[in-house]
Every structure is written in C-alpha cells, then in structure tokens.
C-alpha cells in the first residue's frame, strides 16, 4: 500500500481499526485452550478469513494475529523456538489480505510475566524479548506496530525501545484502563500519554478492559495532555455470563454511536476489542466517515505536576517497637505461633498472653505454612495486637494473591496497625492437604519486597503517590543450609537490594553452618540484622520429618542421633533433649546474630519459652518465672 500511517495522521480524518481476532477465532471453532498465535502456521486459512471479514467491513488497519506471540507466552505451549516463524507468518497473512487497501499493524501484547522490580526478568531481557517478536513481524511485512493491553509503564517503555532499536516504523502505544480511568498499576492515562510521547511513540491510546462509555472522559484527558494522535478501541461492553459462557452484549449500533462520541472527544483512530465482530466494525466505519476530531487544547503542564517523587522512608526505629530494637542493635526475641485451624482463637491468644508476660518482643504469625488451611494471617495478627497488645510479625506470602490483591492487603494492614512484615514466596499447595488448590505466585518475595519498599516511600506499584507513606519494618527469609547456597545468596542479594531490612533464617541446628553463612554475608557486604530461627525438637519422628519433608530445613545426623538416643529412653526425655539442643544453639549463636525466633512446636508455647531461658540476664529470670500452660495446636 502506498499510503502510510503518517498519511493517515496527516489527513486530519478519523480512521478505523479492525475488531477482535480471538473472539472470531473462538467463534470459528478454535478451542479456548489452544494457542491462537500458532494458527498462523497450522491454519492460516482461518486467520486469513478473519482479516478478510474485517477488511470487507471497512477496517483501514488490520492487526496481525500475534498478540501473544512472544517467547514467554509461546513457551507455555512448547513453541518458544517458533517466535520468528509465527510472527512472520502472522504479518504475511495480514499483508496478503490488506494488499494496498489497508495498513498492517504488528500486534504485540504484554509478556505475561512480572518484570523488575516485581519479577526476575530484567529490563534488558524484557526489551530483547520484545525485539525478537518485532523482528519477526518486520520479516513478514508490517507497516506499523500496535502495542496493546499494557498495564505496566516500565514494560511498555521497553516494548517501544525494542521496536525503535529494530526499525523506524511508527508505534501506536495503547494501555488498558479500569473504570477509574487508571491502569491496573494506578497510572493515569494522561500521564501515560505524555510518557509515551517522550519515548518515541507515534500515537497513543486505550484498548480492551472497559466498554466505550468508560473511555470517553479518559480520551478527553489524554487529548489535553499530548499532541499525539489518539486511539480508542474499547471492548464490546463488559462480559456477561449467559448459560455459562462469557458474552459481550454491546450491540454494533451502540459501539458505532460511542465511536462517534470518542472522535468528538479527540480520538483519531477507533475500532473495537474483545467481543467485537465485523458487524461492529462495519457500523463503526459507517458512523465515522463524516466525522472529524475536535480541536484539542494541549495542557502538558497539568500532567507534569502529577509526576510523583518518592519520599524518604520513616526511620525504622520509629515504625514499631520491634523495629526500634533492631535499629538500636538490641537482641530481639520472638516466638512463632501458627493461626488456629478454626474460628476460635482463644487457645492461641492464651499462649500469646504467656509470651507477653514473659517479655518476649513479638509473635511471629506464619501465613499458611506448608500450604495448610488456617485462619488468615492478617486477621490473626490483628487479634493478637488488639486483644493482647503484643506486636505481631506477619509472615506474608505470595502464594495466594496477585500483585493488586497484595497491595490492597498491605494498605489495609497498615491502616489497622500492622507494622512488622516477613515477606516470603510461600509453600506450593501440593505440600498441603489440598494439593489441587491453585497457587497464584504472581510475584515472588523479591518483587513483594520491592512493593513494600515503594509503599514505605509513598508510591504505589505504578509509581503514583499515596496520600502518605507506609511505615513497615520489612523482613525476608533466608536459608543458611540451602542445598544451592550460591543461588540462595543471589536471591538474598536481590532481597537486600529491594529494601529488606532484616532477615529470619530457616530453623538452624548446625552452628558451623550458620557461622559460615554469616561470614559470607560479611564478605559480600550483605549483612543486615539476622534473626536465627530455632526449633525445639520434640521427638526423633519430628527431627526426621523436618530433615526429609520440610524444604530448606537441614537437621544434621549428629542432632538426629541425639534425638534417636533420647527417644529410646522415653518421650519426655526426647522433649528435654530437643530443648537442650535448641538452648545450645541460642547460647552459641547469640553473639553473632540480632535476634532469636523460636518456633512453638505444635503450639506448645511453654517449650518455646524454655528455649529462651538460655538467654542471660533479667529476661531469662522473667522467662523462667512463667508458669506452665495448657499445650495445644
């Protein structure tokens, strides 16, 4: 086609994109679980038929069937080696249909993974993944690129940069918004428009997620923020459940009506996304032929004021009593008590009251350890703080929540008084009693640490300012006995780099192992306050279970031999031997660490308190004076 995208921009008229590809392929009988991008190789006739239908309907720009054709998403189908072939074929099919009657836009969507700082994929790796896909589309003959349905500014920035490295074709950068006019990461669309212009996009816009009505005011805000042409490709309304199927109910007439409204608000390129068909596009094309976009005032300065700056975090000593002791270099003590299995927390709270009377600094509350189903960690911690008046250290894991769910939890937790966190990735469901449960693992402990660190600086995941910063004391887990210690050290480095302020180890039973680990931290300049995890064994069976079935826990043979001999004498003797072993670890490592965390095995708080008797001074006397209490889970 002799016409270019710039020609469409320069003529001052509105132009029409095509509609949904996935909706049409699904309607054509393709199973929802198949890789739609692979159809470019396996069934090009079907893909060609969709393009032909949209061209006949009046589309002036055809998007390639390549939304998910990046290496990451294709690897889920074992197709990571077909990136170039799939993308080149996608472009070639669209090119063969478009001829000189329409432009071909290479469609690129998000990678489908978290990138730094919330995931392990670096910005450089992200850019290379996008470049690989762009080069495949270039090989097939696209006229421009369309980035669509992005939520993360960092990711779309790397996608634009990747295309700019590969070629000088124009880029239309589109993000998906929610009902409030912001992306899922909280970024205002007007701010995105100015950033995309800075990064070299030829046009900016919105697609997917919402219907046309929700886009109207947002397009108007974007029109006041940038000189770039705008696009608006809404869904055909929001999906509705009809006989178990998700159906998009916005009619072609309704979509055409709102396409005209969007153009009057400043959009130059209109079309449709999920749920749309050639009939929707045909009505949109008919409706916009005689329309022109309104003249748009540019008020870039108003958006510049929204650029948010991180604030200095509150000093750790001012965030909590636990944080004050860590900051002062005082030895902290805590006891881990798991949440109750049912709805009655009273037995657990009785144990917490004993800890408070004994002068223990905090209660560690694990978050579904070993994928067990128990009372929620935040609710449990609030009960402890509100009913006993003792600080909780909340183990908060990534297994069960996505990034936005974590953000909601953390903001609510801070508002209700939670201050101390231990951020962990979490045990997989297959370890627990419900192995068929689905884990989330949207981000890992490193990404979660980055999230909390930003909250402490007053920024949400999208870099937008909160009304005020949070003040969490941010801890992470670490395993001195990891089978691959180099890997553990690399992960610990990234946790510290992300903002970890202290760490709690897995249960340690080997002083030499712990000492070697601490010395390595010092050599690599990674030393933050380290709290040693101590577990009083209660039987040889308990020791063997920890050694063989709990990931990351190392129980040396010498310790198991002691427990084996003690167990042969009797159960009570085994308990006493387990306490003695734990007390030895406390005494021997105390001078090298910043705190002690003792697990209460099977909820038996008195056993944990006896371990802490190994500490010298007034605290030991206080602990020894605590009476025995009923033991329970």
Does residue 293 carry a pLDDT above 60?
Answer: no
Please indicate, yes or no, if residue 518 is contained in any of the structural domains.
yes
- In sequence order, which residues have a C-beta less than 8 Å from that of residue 213 and are 6 or more positions away? 258
Please indicate, yes or no, if residue 371 is contained in any of the structural domains.
yes
Tokens 């219907």 appear where? 211
Cis geometry, peptide bond prior to residue 117 (ω within 30 degrees of 0): yes
Q: What is the pLDDT of residues 242-272, one digit of tens each?
A: 445 555 668 899 999 999 999 999 999 999 9
163-172, 265-274, 428-437, 548-557: which range is least confident on average?
428-437
Task: Judge whether 59 and 15 are in contact, CB under 8 Å.
Answer: no
Rounded CA gap, 428 and 425, in Å?
9
Q: Do 273 and 334 have their domain in common?
A: no
Q: CB count, 10 Å around CB of 13? A: 15
Q: Give 421's strand partners.
A: 394, 474
DSSP SS3 for 105: strand
Identify the CA nearest to 232 among candidates 242, 245, 243, 218. Answer: 218
Q: Do 285 and 432 have their domain in common?
A: no
DSSP characters for 382-424? HHHHHHT---EEEEEESTT--HHHHHHHHHHHHHTT--EEEEE
Rounded CA gap, 351 and 631, in Å?
8
Average the pLDDT over 221-225 and give the result. Answer: 92
Q: Do 45 and 175 have their domain in common?
A: yes
Q: Which pLDDT score is estimated for 32?
A: 82
Does residue 307 carry a pLDDT above 70?
Answer: no
Domains of the chain: total: 2
Q: Do 401 and 460 have their domain in common?
A: yes
Give how far the C-alpha of residue 547 lies from the chain's centroid of Cα atoms, to the nearest Å. Answer: 31
Of 274, 304, 334, the one marking the end of a domain is 304
Q: Which pLDDT score is estimated for 196?
A: 95
Does residue 623 carry a pLDDT above 70?
Answer: no
- In sequence order, which residues have a C-beta less than 8 Å from that of residue 299 and are 6 or more positions away? 224, 225
- In sequence order, which residues have a C-beta less than 8 Å from that of residue 13 and are 6 or more positions away? 292
Q: Do 290 and 385 have their domain in common?
A: no
Please indicate, yes or no, if residue 19 is contained in any of the structural domains.
yes
Please indicate, yes or no, if residue 555 is contained in any of the structural domains.
no
Does residue 298 carry a pLDDT above 50?
Answer: no
Average the pLDDT over 597-618 and give the result. Answer: 87
Rounded CA gap, 347 and 602, in Å?
12
Q: Do 80 and 145 have their domain in common?
A: yes
Q: Which pLDDT score is estimated for 438?
A: 53
Q: Which two tokens stand for residue 120?
A: 């392990």
pLDDT band at 441; cut points 50, 70, 90? confident
Please indicate, yes or no, if residue 133 is contained in any of the structural domains.
yes
Task: Give the CATH number, domain containing residue 247.
Answer: 3.20.20.330
pLDDT band at 302; cut points 50, 70, 90? very low
Task: Give the CATH number, domain containing residue 408.
Answer: 3.20.20.220
Q: Do 334 and 300 have their domain in common?
A: no
406-420, 423-437, 496-510, 595-609: which range is least confident on average?
423-437
Identify the CA nearest to 142 among candidates 61, 201, 202. Answer: 61
- pTM for the full model? 0.79
pLDDT band at 205; cut points 50, 70, 90? very high
Identify the CA nearest to 135 among candidates 180, 166, 175. Answer: 166
Domain span including residue 396:
322-536+594-623
DSSP E strands, 66-169: 103-108, 144-150
Identify the CA nearest to 278 among candidates 633, 609, 590, 20. Answer: 20
Q: Do 339 and 281 have their domain in common?
A: no
pLDDT band at 41; cut points 50, 70, 90? very high
Q: What is the pLDDT of residues 20-40, one digit of tens each?
A: 999 899 888 888 889 999 999
Q: Do 182 and 126 have their domain in common?
A: yes
Q: Which helix H or strand E contains 597, and what residues bound it?
A: strand 595-599
Give how far the C-alpha of residue 588 lies from the chain's centroid of Cα atoms, to the nearest Å. Answer: 39
Q: Do 270 and 394 have their domain in common?
A: no
- In sequence order, which residues have a C-beta less than 8 Å from that of residue 225 and are 6 or more positions away? 190, 191, 193, 194, 298, 299, 300, 302, 303
Q: Which pLDDT score is estimated for 629?
A: 38
Of 256, 271, 304, the one marking the end of a domain is 304
pLDDT band at 305; cut points 50, 70, 90? very low
Q: Who wins on pLDDT, 622 or 360? A: 360
Does residue 632 carry a pLDDT above 70?
Answer: no
Q: Do 278 and 334 have their domain in common?
A: no
Q: Do 329 and 447 have their domain in common?
A: yes
Q: Which two tokens stand for residue 111?
A: 């990678």
Please indicate, yes or no, if residue 554 is contained in any of the structural domains.
no
> How high is the mean pLDDT of the chain?
89
Task: Judge whether 19 and 51 are in contact, CB under 8 Å.
Answer: no
Task: Judge whether 222 and 189 are in contact, CB under 8 Å.
Answer: yes
DSSP E strands, 311-356: 332-336
Please indicate, yes or no, if residue 568 is contained in any of the structural domains.
no
Q: Which pLDDT score is estimated for 303?
A: 44
Please indicate, yes or no, if residue 496 is contained in any of the structural domains.
yes
Does residue 619 carry a pLDDT above 70?
Answer: no
Identify the CA nearest to 58 among candidates 291, 293, 278, 290. Answer: 278
Q: What is the pLDDT of residues 145-202, one digit of tens each?
A: 999 999 999 999 999 999 999 999 999 999 999 888 889 888 899 999 999 999 999 9
Of 304, 339, 362, the one marking the end of a domain is 304
């Amino acid at each position: 086609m002799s016409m270019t995208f710039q020609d469409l921009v320069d003529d001052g008229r509105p132009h029409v994109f095509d509609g949904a590809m996935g909706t049409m392929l699904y309607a054509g009988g393709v199973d929802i679980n198949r890789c739609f991008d692979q159809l470019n190789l396996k069934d090009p006739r079907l893909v060609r038929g969709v393009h032909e239908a949209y061209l006949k309907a009046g589309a002036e720009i055809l998007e390639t069937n390549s939304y998910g054709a990046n290496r990451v998403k294709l690897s889920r189908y074992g197709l990571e080696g077909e990136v170039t072939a799939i993308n080149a074929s996608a472009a070639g099919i669209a090119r063969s249909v478009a001829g000189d009657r329409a432009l071909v836009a290479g469609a690129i969507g998000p990678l489908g993974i978290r990138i730094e700082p919330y995931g392990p994929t670096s910005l450089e790796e992200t850019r290379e993944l996008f470049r690989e896909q762009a080069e495949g589309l270039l090989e097939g003959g696209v006229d421009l690129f369309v980035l669509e349905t992005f939520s993360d500014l960092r990711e779309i920035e790397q996608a634009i940069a990747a295309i700019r490295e590969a070629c000088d074709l124009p880029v239309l950068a589109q993000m998906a918004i929610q009902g409030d006019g912001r992306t899922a990461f909280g970024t205002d669309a007007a701010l995105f428009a100015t950033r995309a212009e800075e990064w070299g996009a030829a046009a900016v816009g919105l697609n997917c997620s919402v219907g046309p009505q929700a886009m109207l005011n947002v397009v108007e805000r974007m029109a006041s923020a940038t000189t770039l042409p705008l696009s608006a490709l809404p869904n055909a309304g929001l999906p509705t459940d009809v006989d178990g199927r998700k159906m998009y109910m916005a009619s072609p007439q309704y979509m055409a009506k709102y396409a005209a409204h969007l153009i009057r608000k400043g959009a130059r390129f209109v079309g449709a996304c999920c749920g749309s068909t050639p009939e929707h596009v045909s009505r949109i094309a008919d409706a916009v032929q005689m329309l022109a976009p309104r003249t748009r005032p540019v008020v870039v300065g108003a958006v510049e004021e929204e650029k948010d700056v991180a604030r200095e975090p509150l000093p750790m000593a001012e965030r909590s009593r636990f944080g004050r002791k860590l900051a002062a270099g005082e030895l902290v003590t805590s006891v881990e008590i798991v949440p109750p299995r049912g709805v009655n927390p009273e037995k657990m709270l009785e144990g917490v009251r004993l800890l408070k009377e004994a002068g223990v600094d905090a209660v560690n509350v694990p978050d579904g350890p070993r994928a067990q189903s128990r009372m929620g960690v935040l609710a449990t911690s609030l009960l402890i703080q509100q009913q006993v008046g003792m600080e909780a250290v909340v183990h908060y894991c990534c297994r069960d929540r996505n990034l936005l769910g974590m953000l909601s939890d953390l903001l609510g937790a801070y508002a209700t008084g939670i201050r101390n966190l231990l951020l962990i990735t979490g045990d997989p469901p297959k370890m627990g009693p419900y192995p068929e449960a689905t884990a989330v693992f949207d981000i890992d402990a490193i990404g979660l640490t980055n999230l909390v660190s930003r909250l402490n600086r007053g920024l949400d995941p999208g870099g937008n300012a909160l009304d005020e910063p949070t003040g969490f004391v941010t801890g992470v887990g670490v395993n001195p006995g990891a089978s691959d210690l180099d890997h553990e050290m690399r992960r610990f480095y990234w946790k510290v780099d992300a903002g970890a302020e202290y760490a709690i180890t897995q249960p340690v039973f080997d002083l030499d192992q712990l000492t070697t680990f601490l010395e390595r931290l010092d050599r690599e300049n990674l030393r933050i306050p380290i709290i040693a995890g101590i577990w009083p064994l209660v039987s040889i069976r308990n020791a063997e279970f920890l050694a063989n079935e709990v990931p990351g826990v190392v129980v040396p043979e010498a310790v198991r031999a002691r427990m084996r001999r003690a167990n042969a004498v009797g159960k009570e003797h085994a308990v006493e031997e387990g306490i003695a072993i734990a007390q030895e670890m406390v005494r021997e490592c105390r001078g090298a660490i910043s705190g002690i965390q003792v697990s209460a095995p099977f909820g038996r708080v008195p056993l944990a308190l006896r371990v802490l008797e190994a500490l010298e001074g007034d605290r030991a006397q206080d602990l020894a004076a605590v009476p025995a209490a009923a033991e329970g889970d």
